[in-house]
Amino acid sequence: MLDIAKKAGVSKATVSMVLNKRDQSISEETKKKILKLAEELNYIPNSLARGLSTKKTGTIGIILPDITNPFFSSIARAIEDAANSLEYNVILCNTDNEIDKEVDYIKLLISKIVDGVIFIAGGESSSSVKILKSNNIPFVLVDRYIDNYKDEHGVYLLNEEGVIKGIDYLYKKGNEKIVFVKGHENITVSNERLKGYKYAMNKYGIYDENLIFKGNFNIEGGIKATEAILSKLDKVEAIFYSNDMMALGGMKVLLRKGFRIPEDIRIMGFDNIDICGIFEPELTTIGQPIYKMGKEACKLLINIINEVDIKDKEIYFETELIIRGTA
Ligand code: RIB
């Protein structure tokens, strides 16, 4: 900035006013000269310095638990698109479902003076939310609410209803031995989906706790759960996985062991990530409006940052039953 001021023959303050668009009192000729020099000298504003003075950096942080899962990379893409369209940049933080890493990233984002955070929890994340609140950082919870912080701004899915929709479909297709592979037990969406499964199976009088198996939302988890199912149960008509990644892992095991899908076993997933429609047979699943959820979460956060009146603190999205080839 000093170089520009010297070459333009003006003060550093004048350069700062032009580059920060607070230049109403400066002549067009001087403005043009300063902007031309800034371009020639490849001037890049120091966002932290600007943040310190204006308390705004035009940047939001995204914290998510597993970037290798297309659900999260898709939602991050939606947030980035929405942020960019509103002239914000994003800093993406992947926590690998590790709470310590999550807390470190929260502290890093605060030190970078982000204007706000989109937070997808990796598990029991009360400590992370406590840090955001004690530093008055605007944030929006997405996908996973936090048990001790149910009154925060959030964008969520009607998970229970989604699983009930799936069981209704499988039951009406003649399946009763419907196995359920749940997600991480310390993640709220897993518990909501399990609740929906129990409700629907009891509704039809076919609930059996031996049909519930542990999973962990990734392909390996789907493989292990399916191997356990085949070793413990002698009759399975359908397997409902709590997310698509586990369903794809399960299908790999079943097809390799010679099962025909859907003739021998029906398979249902949850999310509707893009690869559902690529594998053969294509995965029947409970779809989430992933892109819309990310976009609405970003708009909500930026409204909070700019102190726009907000009607609803929480936004809930419906699921959609997407029937393809596996059920
Ligand atoms: O696939 C990852 C799962 O974790 C999704 O179902 C999403 O809801 C997230 O909570």
Beta bridge partners, 41, equal: none
- Cα 44–46–52 angle (5° rounding)? 155
CATH number of the domain encompassing residue 142:
3.40.50.2300
pTM: 0.87
Residue 29 has pLDDT above 80, yes or no: yes
327 within a domain of the structure (yes/no):
no
Same-domain status, 65 and 146: yes
Count of the separate structural domains present in the chain: 3
Shared domain for 210 and 224, answered yes or no, is yes
Place of tokens 């399946």: 175
Q: Is residue 323 part of a domain?
A: no
Q: Does 50 score more than 70 pLDDT?
A: no
Average pLDDT over residues 49-60: 75
Q: What is the mean pLDDT of residues 123-144?
A: 94
**Least confident among 42-56, 57-71, 153-167, 185-199:** 42-56
Query: Which is the closest atom of ligand 1 to the Cα of 242?
Result: 6
- 173 shares a domain with 85: no
Residues 66 and 169 in one domain: no
29 and 75 co-located in one domain: no
| Cis amide leading into 70 (omega within 30) | no
Average pLDDT score, the chain: 94
With a 6 Å cutoff on the Cβ, whether 121 touches ligand 1 is: no
In a domain, 53, yes or no: no
Interval 80-126: pLDDT, tens: 999 999 999 999 999 999 999 999 999 999 999 999 999 999 888 89
For residue 310, pLDDT beyond 70: yes
Supply the DSSP string of 47-78, one letter for each residue. Answer: HHHHHHHHS--SEEEEEES-TTSHHHHHHHHH
Using a 6 Å cutoff on CB, does residue 192 contact ligand 1? Answer: no
Q: Is 106 in the pocket of ligand 1 (CB under 6 A)?
A: no
Q: What is the CA(319)–ligand 1 centre distance, in A? A: 13
Q: Is the CB of 296 under 6 A from ligand 1?
A: no
Same domain for 63 and 29: no
Does the C-beta of 189 come closer than 6 Å to ligand 1? Answer: yes
The residue type of 88 is Y
Q: What is the pLDDT of residue 132?
A: 96
Nearest atom within ligand 1 for CA of residue 187: 10
Question: Could you list the residue range(s) of the whole structural domain that residue 300 is in?
Answer: 59-157+290-318
Q: Is pLDDT at 27 greater than 90 in this prediction?
A: yes
In-domain check, residue 313? yes
Residues 106 and 23 in one domain: no
Distance between Cα 71 and ligand 1 center (Å): 7
Alpha-carbon span 249 to 63, nearest angstrom: 26
- Residues 252, 199 within the same domain: yes
What is the best residue among 63, 68, 72 to mutate for testing ligand 1's pocket, by most ligand atoms within 8 Å of CB?
72
Same domain, 176 and 263: yes
Nearest atom in ligand 1 to the alpha carbon of residue 189 is 10
Atom 1 (ligand 1) nearest CA: 243
Does ligand 1 lie within 6 Å of residue 143's CB atom?
yes
The residues with which 94 forms a beta bridge, in sequence order, are 64
Tens-digit pLDDT profile for residues 228-270: 999 999 999 999 999 999 999 999 999 999 999 999 999 999 9
Assess whether 176 and 295 both reside in one domain: no
Q: Which of 187, 189, 182, 181 is nearest to 160 (CA)?
A: 189
pLDDT interval class at 311 (50, 70, 90): confident
What CATH number has the domain bearing residue 36?
A: 1.10.260.40
Give CA separation, 124 vs 132, 182, 186, 227, 247, in Å: 15, 17, 6, 28, 25
Q: Is the CB of 271 under 6 A from ligand 1?
A: yes
